[in-house]
Structure formats: C-alpha cells, structure tokens
Structure 1
Amino acid sequence: MNTSEFQQYVREFSELKGFDTSTIEQRMLYLMTEVGELSKEVLSVSFHPDAEKKENLGYEMYDVVWNIFDLANKLGIDLDQAFRRKREINDNRTWE
C-alpha cells in the first residue's frame, strides 16, 4: 500500500467508525496520546527486549502514523504530494 492508498484507507476507515467527527484539536491530542504510548513501549523494549514487546512497538508506530494521516485528511493535506516536495527540499539541502 502506498502513501495515497493509505491516506484513502484512513479516510474511509475514519468515516466508517465515526472518527471523522473529531476536531483537528482532538485528533492532535489523540496523536500525542499515541506518541506517549509509543514512548512507553520504546522504554520497555530498551530495558527488556523481546519479540512480543517489539510487536507492540510496531502497533504503536502504526497508531502514530494513522493519526498523522487522519490529521492530514482533516486539514486537506495530500501527504504523498507533501512527501515528494519535502524530499526534493532535503535532496538539495545541506546541514551544518
């Protein structure tokens, strides 16, 4: 699944489950909650790495990405286009 397809999937899933009624601010807070859960899982894996914890880490990463895509949908941002443009900027950028 590419970026555009995933963004469409998130749009349709959000509508199907009624998540599309949340505000931009609420979605941002959901995103921050998921980032917190991801942080907790990273900390857990750093102390006691095992297959189950790594699997949970992947699930939390998915939740973060999903919320970013849902936020982009709410803001009318085409992430495929944004990613392409930002890659071009970074390709020509120098970091000092």
Structure 2
Amino acid sequence: MFPNEMRTLQDFQEFHRWLDEQKGFSDDVFLNMMLLSGEVGEVAQVLKKVHHMQDPRRTEGEAQTLEEALAAHRDDIGQELADCLAYIFKLANYTGVDLQRAYLAKMEKNLDRTWKYK
C-alpha cells in the first residue's frame, strides 16, 4: 500500500499496521502515547515561533501578520501535525478502535452538543 492510494481513515490505519510490521515499531500503548505527547509539544514549539513573529518587541518592530508568520512555518507545522496523526492512527490500531467509525459517531453527537466557551 502506498500513501497516495489511501482514501479513508481505515486505509490510513491499515497503512500504519503494515508500516509498524515492516519497521518493527513498538506497539506499546503507553510508549506511543508518550511519543504522541512529544509530537504535540513539537507542534507547540513551531506555533511559539509563529507567535513570536507577530510580537514587535521580539522582532525589533518588524512584526509579521499571523498569515505571514503561518506561511513561513506552514511546512514545519504540517510535518509535526502529520507526526501527531500517525501516532493517533497507531494508538487506534493498538487499542482496537476503528477510528473512522469512532470519529463519525462522535461528530454526530457533537451536532447536538452545546459548548459553554462558545
């Protein structure tokens, strides 16, 4: 299976099953949760750079707009989010969760949900 042939969440989960087998990656749920947490931290580090690019005190008066700062780091953000997504697929696999089914069921519930911070 090649990544460009994947169309559904099940395809992505299957790809990660295959990749784990090919590369001998650990299926330890707790280790992979810690690794996911690390990847979320890497997303935060890139977004911190974006945030600092908007602050005239940090940029000697040459602050950028949010759009400009995001554009400068979009590839890095994408790479780190992709790493997070990979670990989410792996965790779903290791815990026996059909992520597509779970996502659709959760979003259906959310349609009738009200958030207090709205």
**RMSD across aligned C-alpha pairs, in angstroms?**
1.5
1:6 aligns with 2:24: no
**Structure with more contact order per residue of length (Cα contacts < 8 Å, sep ≥ 6):** 1
TM-score between both structures, scaled by the size of structure 1: 0.88
Conserved in 1, the CA contact under 8 Å of 2:27 and 2:94? no
Runs of 5+ unmatched residues, structure 2: 1-6, 54-68
The within-5 A match list for 1:1-96 is: 1-19=7-25, 21-48=26-53, 49=69, 51=71, 53-96=73-116
Unaligned stretches of 5+ residues in structure 1: none
Q: Percent identity of the aligned residues?
A: 35
How many residue pairs get aligned? The number is 95
Following TM superposition, the consecutive aligned residue runs of length 4 or more in structure 1 with deviations greater than 6 angstroms are none
- Tell me the distance in 2 between the aligned counterparts of 1:50 and 1:86: 30
Specify the structure having the higher radius of gyration (Cα). 2
Q: Could you say which structure has the higher helix fraction?
A: 1
